[in-house]
Amino acid sequence: MKKIILGWLLILLYAGNLNAQRVKGSETVLPITQKAAENFIKSHPRTNVTVTGGGSGVGISSLMSGTTDIAQTSRRIKFDERKKIKFAGNNLREVEVAFDALAIVVHPSNKVSQLTREQLSGIFTGKIKNWKEVGGEDLKIIPYSRETSSGTYEFFKESVLKHKNFMSGIMSMPANGAVIQSVSQTRGAIAYVGLAYLSDKVKPLAVSYDSGKTFVKPSVESAKNKSYPIVRPLYYYYLSKDEAKVKNFIDYLLSPTGQKIVEETGYVPVS
């Protein structure tokens, strides 16, 4: 009995000594943080990192309520959230930990291989309805979107549609994988997915953000040198008072070893 109690005490002491930190938020950033945390714990035995998903919004509200130390998000913090943190007397720190590119994909048999932002915006808001209007064959365009709760949806709306609304009655899929599946079996389809989800079953399009002067294909290289336009930063947010606690892990993720993990998980490193 005594031994058991002693054992528990030791565990408690040990746990108390641990440099524990919690990361919570976006499902998009989750694979990076998870992999980085695993490796970080291996190389720093007396630390612990707990990683949970739940969505960007959940991450930030947990940061406000103090149930997480780092909020990972796939979008920039909103004005309201920034305001709440500022009014609670805290200072927010923002770190870009990786980039994610959104690829525009179509069915492999589609002859169109490039589109401008204006054309994309026309397609997804319902102004352009047939592939022949953008240089393809006479075929109805079937745009697929994501569910409104997804960060990818928000980013696409902001970057490509410039905050306009998607056409009402657009098809919306619950996950990146389902989008790829649907596009691969629908001839007139067009959709957007994270770069990490690209596969041979669909054809990525080159995109132009300067009204057709230069078209760039999505790839890790073109996203890295910023020539591909639909790139979003992935963020870590923390409060300045927690800086000492979270600094080690963030430094690790930003180090060359950490950024290699970013690249291995299919995202674009910041440096």
Partner 1 sequence: MAQKNLLGKITEKLTESLLTLSGALTTIAILFITIFLFKEGFGLFKSPAIEDGYGLYVHPENPVNQLHPLDVKNMYDEEIINWNELGGANQEIMVFRIDDVFDYYTDEDLGENYSLLPEKLGYIISDHKNIIAYVPEEFAPSVTQGSKKVKVHNTTLSDFFLGKEWLPTATPSPLFGALPLILGTLLVSLIAIVLALPLGLGVAVYLSELADERMRKFLKPVIELLAGIPSVVYGFFGLVVVAPLVQKAFNLPVGETAFTGGLILAIMALPTIISVAEDAIRNTPTAMREASLALGATQWQTIYKVVIPYAGSGISAAAVLGIGRAVGETMAVLMITGNAAVIPSTIFEPVRTIPATIAAELGEAPSGGQHFQSLFLLGCILFLISMIISIVSEMISKKKTYKSL
Cβ-based nearer residue to partner 1, 188 or 218: 188
Position 178 contacts partner 1 (CB under 8 A): yes
Phi, psi of 46 (to 5 degrees): -95, 25
Site for partner 1 in 200-259 (CB under 8 A): none
CB of 147 to partner 1, least distance (A): 4
CA separation for the pair 7, 256 (Å, rounded): 39
DSSP string, 81-144: HHHHHHHTT--EEEEEEEEEEEEEEE-TT----EEEHHHHHHHHTTS--BGGGGTS-S-B-EEE
Q: Torsion angle, CA of 190/269/238/52, rounded to 10 degrees?
A: 60
- Judged by beta carbon, residue 123 or residue 223, the one nearer partner 1 is 123
Stretch that binds partner 1, among 111-119, 128-136, 138-146, 208-216 (CB under 8 A): 138-146
Among 91, 148, 199, 255, binds partner 1 (CB under 8 A): 148
Cβ proximity to partner 1: between 191 and 195 the closer is 191
Residues within window 100-129 making contact with partner 1, judged by CB under 8 A: 125
- List binders of partner 1 among 30-69 (CB under 8 A): 55, 57
Q: Does 25 bind partner 1 (CB under 8 A)?
A: no
Tell me the H-state helices in the chain: 2-17, 30-43, 56-65, 79-87, 117-124, 151-159, 176-184, 220-224, 243-254, 256-264
Judged by CB under 8 A, which of 84, 187, 217, 224 binds partner 1? Answer: 187
Structure letter (DSSP) for residue 201: T
* Closest distance of CB 174 from partner 1, Å: 6
Beta bridge partners of 70: 23
Residue 130 sits in the site that holds partner 1 (CB under 8 A): no
Q: How far is the CB of 118 from partner 1 (least distance, A)?
A: 12
Instruction: Provide the residue type at 185 as one letter.
Output: Q
Give the one residue of 4, 42, 45, 87 binding partner 1; rule: CB under 8 A.
Answer: 87
Pairing type for strands 142-146 and 171-173 reads parallel
Question: Measured in whole angstroms, how far is the alpha carbon of residue 110 from the centre of its chain?
Answer: 27
The footprint of partner 1 (CB under 8 A) covers: 55, 57, 79-80, 83, 86-87, 125, 139-140, 142, 147-149, 163-166, 168-174, 178, 181-182, 185-189
